[in-house]
Amino acid sequence: HIIVCGHYECGGVGASLDRVDLASPLEEWVCNIRDVYRLHKEELDSIKSPEQRKRRLVELNAKEQAVNVYKAAVVQRRRVYTHMKTGLAQPKVHAVVFDPKTGLVKRINTFEGDDQIDELHEVYDLYDAKTAQQFWEGEDEYPKRENTPRKLFNRMPTGLSAGKKSVPLPASDDDE
């Protein structure tokens, strides 16, 4: 399991709402939170209370950062591998928010069985259990790409996408 934990009273979220240039390197960090605001602007702008708007932005930021972790190639590759070995795709990614005033943790999103996963498949090249199972049926180990540069190895193998036009994997890199 991977847990992405935001926290209420977050100074970065507060700074992102101030709309002032914070200078590097803080500006680059806060810019990501402002991107979350932009993605959810309609919802956030409808919240009249500045404190409630800030709290909701903390929640949405934790959720969006969990999405970023979920999309990461290394997470996607591991989900393919564990699905093939155990029948259960791991790791699961969870978004939570800690409230320092109460000491409680609020679960925001776990992705499993979530409509958001289907929405991600429409845009990103993500793990697809059915395609992976068809390709690796009978294989004991996740295929290694011995001749592939390390920086490319962490990308999803061609054909494991849940996209509408999944391309079959070649028998070897030489077949392309």
61-97: per-residue pLDDT in tens?
999 999 899 888 888 878 877 877 787 878 888 999 9
pLDDT of residue 130: 62
Give the DSSP letter of residue 174. Answer: G
Hey, CA dihedral for 167, 149, 129, 116, is it positive or negative?
negative
Task: Pick out the chain residues at pLDDT < 50.
Answer: 147-176
Angstrom distances, CA of residue 108 to CA of 148, 162, 167: 38, 25, 34
CA distance 125 to 159: 9
CA distance 107 to 96: 4
53 within 8 A of 17, measured Cβ to Cβ:
yes
User: Residue 149, preceding bond cis, omega within 30 degrees?
Assistant: no
pTM value is 0.73
